[in-house]
Amino acid sequence: MGWSKKEEPTPFDGMPLSGLFFLDGDILARLWGRDWTAGEKFPMIAFPSGEEFEIWESSNPERGGIVHIFGEMDLPLKGARDEAYSQACYVGEQCGYVARKIGENQLEVWGNDDDEHFLITYNNEAGEIQDIAKVKPEQSAPRPRIPLLPDEIRAQLPPLYSGEEQGLEAKALVKFFTPDSNWTWYASEFDGEDTFFGLVSGFEVELGYFSLSELESVHGPLGLPIERDKFFEPTNLRELQEQHRRDHLR
């Protein structure tokens, strides 16, 4: 929800939400000349750190509301840390944000701007966000790279040697590429740690093994890191091999 009439009930009425308050539209109208906020109210939530965020209605009342942290990073007030991590990673995948777990009850998130860096602490027993604090630049560690292999895709990749009977009919589920050259890697199997099997298109087009750690460390001729193609659709190795061999003949 957004602005609503002061006299109207809200979905948060009767909820025991610590830190909930409403912006007074009459005050804002006087201070900033926003006449359209007169007679309105807007729900906010304050945390022990002193940080305040918009809180929106959730389609599931058990969520207690959705906390708008920055950009597209919106997380439910109530819920487990690991569930929030999965959602943060999904949003990050779409928007270029980064999320990582810290310890048993914290989640660190980075946006695209310098001031979009927060540490979220969860109350594991209550199953809700306990605090959200902005990480100061002097306290900030270097922003991690977006993972080349998200957990969701990692879990989908078949184990090594499982596709031997399928041969070239096995499907590649993920594509990596160098933005500043023509090298491309397609993975159809993964050992769960570091080693892929699939198709590599570089100087030649060939099946073989390659490593995640190598992809994470190598840069192209202009210094750009290897990326994952977010729009790649699973394709069998035979089609990919034929396509790249045709490209090499041009």
Q: What is the dihedral of CA 238, 242, 244, 246, to 10 degrees?
A: 180
How many angstroms separate the CA atoms of 158 and 154, rounded? 9
- CA-angle at 156, arms to 95 and 208, nearest 5°: 100
Q: What is the pLDDT of residue 1?
A: 61
How many angstroms separate the CA atoms of 167 and 156, rounded? 18
Buried residues in 119-137 as b, exposed as e (16+ CB within 10 A): bbbbeeeeebbbbbbbbee
Closest residue by Cα to residue 70 from 120, 142, 104: 120
Q: What is the pLDDT of residue 147?
A: 84
Tell me the whole-structure pTM to 2 decimals. 0.73
Q: Please tell me whether residue 52 adopts helix, strand or coil conformation.
A: strand
| For the chain, domain boundaries | 4-139, 151-249
- Asked whether 250 and 209 are in contact (CB, 8 A), the reply is no
Give whole-number Cα distances, 229 to 58, 79, 174, 175, 210, in Å.
Answer: 32, 31, 7, 6, 17
Q: What is the pLDDT of residue 52?
A: 97
Give whole-number Cα distances, 73 to 70, 90, 128, 143, 204, in Å.
Answer: 5, 10, 16, 16, 42
Q: What is the pLDDT of residue 164?
A: 84
Closest residue by Cα to residue 173 from 115, 242, 114, 232: 232
- Residue 193 token pair: 């740690």
Q: What is the pLDDT along the chain (250 residues), one digit of tens a residue?
A: 688 899 988 888 878 889 999 999 888 888 877 788 899 999 999 999 999 999 999 888 888 899 999 999 999 999 999 999 999 988 988 888 999 999 999 999 999 888 899 999 999 899 999 999 999 877 767 777 778 898 889 999 999 999 888 989 999 999 999 998 889 999 999 999 999 999 999 999 999 999 999 999 988 888 888 999 988 999 999 999 999 998 877 6
Q: Please tell me whether residue 144 adopts helix, strand or coil conformation.
A: coil
